[in-house]
Structures are given as C-alpha cells and as structure tokens.
Amino acid sequence: GNELRDKVLEKYSAKVYRNRKQHVLSIDPEASNEITANVRTIPGIITQRGCCYAGCKGVVLGPMSDNAIIVHGPIGCSFYTWGTRRHKQVETDRHGEHADCYVEYCFSTDMQEPNIVFGGEKKLKKAIEECMAIYKPKMLSICSTCPVGLIGDDIHAIAKWAREEYPGLMCIAFSCEGYKGVTQSAGHHIASNQIIRFIVGTGDHKPQKKFSVNILGEYNIGGDGWEIERILNRCGIEVVSAMTGTSCYRDMKNAHLADLNLVQCHRSINYVADMMKDKYGMDWIKVNFIGVNATKKSIRAIGAYFNDPELSARIEEVIADEENTIADEMEYYKSKLKGKTAAIYVGGSRSHHYQLLLQDLGMSTVLAGYEFAHRDDYEGRRVIPDIKVDADSKNIENLKIEADENLYNPDRITPEHRAELEANEDIDLNDYQGMYPDMEEGSIIADDLNHFETEEFLKALKPDVFFSGIKDKFVVQKAGMLSRQIHSYDYQGPYTCFQGAARFGHDLVMGLYVPAWSFIKAPWKNQATLVGKLGGEV
C-alpha cells in the first residue's frame, strides 16, 4: 500500500500533496502503477534536476573527443559543465588515427551585459574565428544558454556561415537554452536531432568484421564504455561508433554502416535509435552491461540477433572465461553484502540498471527513482501512445524522418528470424520494458525526488546505502549512512560487465565496512523511537 508515501507527503499543502502523490508510489503487482513523469517541478522545491543545456552540452555532446564546443552565454554555464562529468577519452579515432581531443577544454563567449542588450552574434563569430585559428577542429558546436534564446541571437545562421567560411568544418548549432524543457531530457532530444541531421550517414568507412554494432547511450563514465568494447571485441563484434562516450565525430559519421544498434541508456538516446530505424531500417536492442547476469543476457541477445553458431559459441567462451576470472571475488563480496538494502536516485537509466548488479551481489532495492525519465522508462515503451503531449514537450522539435533512398534496409534479418526474436522474452528487440518489472512488490518509486522526501524516506526505510549524486551525497553521509555516487562513481569505475561488477562489489564493501562509521551516530539513533506519556509524565 501507499501508507509510507502518504505519511511522508502529508506535510505538504493540499495542492503540493496532490501533485507529488502522482510521482510517488509503492509497486503493487495488482495495480497499474501509472506514474507522472517529465513534467515541471513545483517551484520552490529543492529538486536534483538539471537543465536542458546540461543534457545537450554536458551529457550528449560533451564526451565526443574532437568536438570543440563553444558555449554561447555567461561564463557560469560553461564553468558548471567544465570537467564535472567523468567521460574518459583518448586522442585517437577507431581507426587508430590521431583525433584532437577537446574534452578538457572550456570554450565560452563569456557574454556580458552589453551583449545581452545589443546582441551577442558578433562576439560568437569572433569566438569561432579564434577557436579555428588556434585549434582547427573538424567539428565545432555552438550551444546556447538561457539569455541567448531570450535576446534571439541566430546561432543557426552563424553555424551556416562557419560551414561556408571554413570548408571541411562541421559546425552545428544547438538551441539548448536551459529553460527549453523541464529537465536535461529536452537537451538529449535536441542533441539527438542534430546528430541525425548533420552527422550520421556522412561517413563511408565500412566495418571490417562480419558483425558490427553501435553502442548508443554509453558515455564512458569512469571507462565503462572501454570495458564494454573490450568484451564485444573479444566476442568478435566490431564497434563502429559509440554515442557518445569513446567516440569522436569521425566515428559517428559511419554509424549507419553498422548492422545493429545497442541501446544502453534508453532515456538519453532512444531518439537516435528510433530515427536510425526509420531512416536506415536498422534494428536496435535494449542492452544493459551493468551487472553480471544483465551483461550475459545482453551479449547473448546480440548473438541471437546475428544467429550465427560460431559467434554464439565464442560468446559462451568469453562468458565462461570472464566469469571464471571474477568468481572468487564475487563470492567474497556477496558474503559481505548479502541481505543488505539500497536506495537509488539518479537521472535516468542507471536507477534501473544498478538494481541488477545489486541483485547479483545479493542485495535488494527498497526505493528507486529518476530525475528526468519519462513514463516509458518506468512502465515500458508500450505506454508511449498514452503519454500526454503537453506544451513543454511540444516545445522540442520532433524530426520527420524519411527512409534513406539508398541505404534503407529493413530486411537485415529474415521475417522468420524476426518473429522468433520477437517471441523471445529475453530479447528486447526495438523495445524497452522499463524499470518496474525488475522491482519487488512494495518497493517505493519516486519521480523527481527532492531533498525533503529523500531525508524522510531514508529515515523510514533505513537502507544500508544510498546511491545518488553530488548534491545529496554529503547530507546523507553526515547522517551516518553510506552514499555512493552513481553519476561519477566517486572517481572509481569502470563498473560495466564482469570485471566492473567485481570492482563495484569491492568499492561497496570498502564503503560499508570502513571503521569510520563507528564514529558517527545517525540523528535518528539518538531519538527515542517511542514517545508517549506514562502516569502523566513524558
């Protein structure tokens, strides 16, 4: 039932209560568990959400190595996204050629008041000229922040000017003003649209191996993407591009030449997968490389798609070998973690993915939620037709995609094989089931969880660890509960696939068993659990 939810939310005014109640529920297999998501946060509430610009510039564009991003706006917006997300990169493309890497740089027009009053276009052109003179990038992005949209600088005209002025330069403008959407999610969509419009389909570097894929929605945080690629390469599968971790503009141009798209983070990049399906007829499968069992299921699904006995045999060999390498460690971590509970609250897919890794370690998740996911990330893609399109979502362009005259090929697999895959419950072909099916009855789901609710739920549920981000980590830790960052991994990682799972187990055991905990007492441990009167005295 929803008793705990109602108890936590009852402190609100009636209006706020009515709103928040639609975002928080307890999983009940008998009920529809419909949730409200991707709508505006109530003003005044301390949300953990970010803005549209963060989703476009920071999340999707940021990891591309050879993409010089000029932030058109006041300097604070640049500073905020400068090196705070741990997408690792190298200075080579997938063919071993040098590609300049700008991920550690911060380019900004540093708009001042006079630019807001008289317009910032001249300053932006000057910034582009300066960047071209010094760095000569192959790709240059212009990302606008809030004031640019308000004063109406035409960044798209300037991008066109730059493409003409500098032959060979791919200059793309992104109207990703912070206010454009209700969260980062709007920025993911805006970035995806331009990737399809300007990048994918412009390269001609064909894959060399028999089986090739793109990895979509993998940003190489802490090296996650490198570990996934190591495993896929061992299996004999070529990675044409990753979007956008471990990739550069030059790799992404060739993405349409791969056989299959793998979608790791559905939330941030399902747009690209859908558009590539419409334009090239390329299938996608939902994968999850977080967790040993999830990884096994994912690579077996890839094997099933390609339907090649040699490939499937190699996949089984790799699984056996990788599992063998971590077996003793996993056994030990499991013995230390079995029966413990967790709460997870991050932006999108990781709140779902990490539950599977915790299950591998014998743990369960008592509360989970997303900052900015949509209903389909909770309930599965089958609810997409029922999602209300409100004024905020209408604000973001929905590209009309047509099949590519030469490259559209919907018959990459036979109709019989497609029917087989669709009937197979272990394979999500062009589909995502969302987080619910992996959650236990009675666990709490909280969309756009805020500071107040975080503290109240943690006090009531007392999980052993709270997985979250920088904004709430220390509040929780000072209250005596371990908090691990699932965005940045607290400077650790990779946590993907087999070795990543063992590394995660190691870090979690270290965190939970560190003797420092005996020096802090959670505030609620100092409070009486029962308050009442006995014989007239308190």
Q: Which residues bind ligand HCA (CB under 6 A)?
A: 50, 54, 58, 84-85, 184, 347, 469-471, 485, 487-488
Sheet of 67-72, strands arranged across: 107-108, 67-72, 139-144, 170-174
Shortest Å, Cβ 86 to ligand HCA:
7
Q: Give one DSSP letter per residue of 400-431, joined into a string.
A: -----TTT--S-SS-HHHHHHHHH-TT--BT-
Q: What is the DSSP letter of 42?
A: P
Q: Which of 198/289 has CB closer to ligand HCA?
A: 289
Cβ–Cβ < 8 Å for 298, 231: no
Catalytic-residue membership of 188: yes
Closest CB 191 distance from ligand HCA, rounded Å: 13
Q: Show Cβ contacts of residue 156 under 8 Å, excluding neighbours closer than 6 positions.
A: 173, 175
Which entry of ligand CFM, ligand HCA, none binds 265, CB below 5 to 8 A by partner kind? ligand CFM
Q: Is 51 a catalytic residue?
A: yes
DSSP designation for 58: I
If you write DSSP's letter for every residue of 189-236 in order, what string do you get?
Answer: HHHHHHIIIIITTS-----SSSEEEEEEEE--BTTHHHHHHHHHHHHT
Q: Per the structure block, which two tokens stand in for 215? A: 């990895």
Among ligand CFM, ligand HCA, none, what does residue 471 contact (CB within 5–8 Å per kind)?
A: ligand HCA
Residue 51 CB, nearest approach to ligand HCA (Å): 8
Q: For ligand CFM, which is the closer residue by CB, 149 or 187?
A: 187
Closest by Cα among 162, 171, 158, 144 to 74: 144
- Please report the DSSP string for 466-522 in residue order: EEE-HHHHHHHHHTT-EEEESSSGGG-----HHHHHHHHHHHHHHHHH-GGGGG---
Partner touching 470 among ligand CFM, ligand HCA, none, CB below 5 to 8 Å by kind = ligand HCA
Query: Which residue is closest to ligand CFM by CB?
Result: 347
Q: Which is nearer to ligand HCA, 25 or 54 (CB)?
A: 54
Contact 462, 317 (CB under 8 A): no
Query: Rounded to an integer, what is the distance from CA 401 to the centroid of its chain?
Result: 24
Q: Which of 20, 72, 87, 188 is catalytic?
A: 188
Q: Within a 13 Å sphere around the CA of 462, how many CA atoms are in the beta-carbon half?
A: 5
> Is 54 part of the annotated catalytic residue set?
yes
Q: Which of 5, 49, 51, 248 is catalytic?
A: 51
Nearer to ligand HCA, 348 or 463 (CB): 348
Give me the least distance between CB of 32 and ligand CFM, in Å please. Answer: 24
Check if the beta carbon of residue 466 is closer than 8 Å to that of residue 522.
no
**235 catalytically annotated:** no
If residue 141 lies in a helix (H) or strand (E), which one and from where to where?
A: strand 139-144
292 contact choice in ligand CFM, ligand HCA, none (CB below 5 to 8 Å, kind-dependent): none
Q: Considering 37, 52, 54, 294, which one is annotated as catalytic?
A: 54
84 binds, among ligand HCA, ligand CFM, none (CB under 5 to 8 A by kind): ligand HCA
Closest to ligand CFM by CB, 109 vs 244, is 244
Residue 137: phi and psi, rounded to 5, are -70, 155
DSSP 3-state of 17:
helix
Query: Helices 350-360 and 497-513, interaxial angle, to 10°?
Result: 80
Shortest reach from residue 48's CB to ligand HCA, in Å? 6
Q: How far is the CB of 225 from ligand CFM (least distance, A)?
A: 10
> Is 293 in a helix, a strand, or coil?
helix
Q: Judged by CB, which is closer to ligand HCA: 360, or 472?
A: 472
Choose the one of ligand CFM, ligand HCA, none that binds residue 349, judging by a C-beta under 5 to 8 angstroms depending on kind. ligand CFM
| Nearest to ligand HCA of 184, 261 (CB atom) | 184
Q: How far is the CB of 345 from ligand HCA (least distance, A)?
A: 10
Where on the chain is the footprint of ligand CFM (CB under 6 A)?
Answer: 55, 59, 85, 184, 217, 219, 221, 265, 267-268, 346-350, 487
**Residue 161 vs residues 124, 164, 439: alpha-carbon distances, Å:** 12, 5, 51
**Mind telling me the catalytic residues?**
51, 54, 85, 188
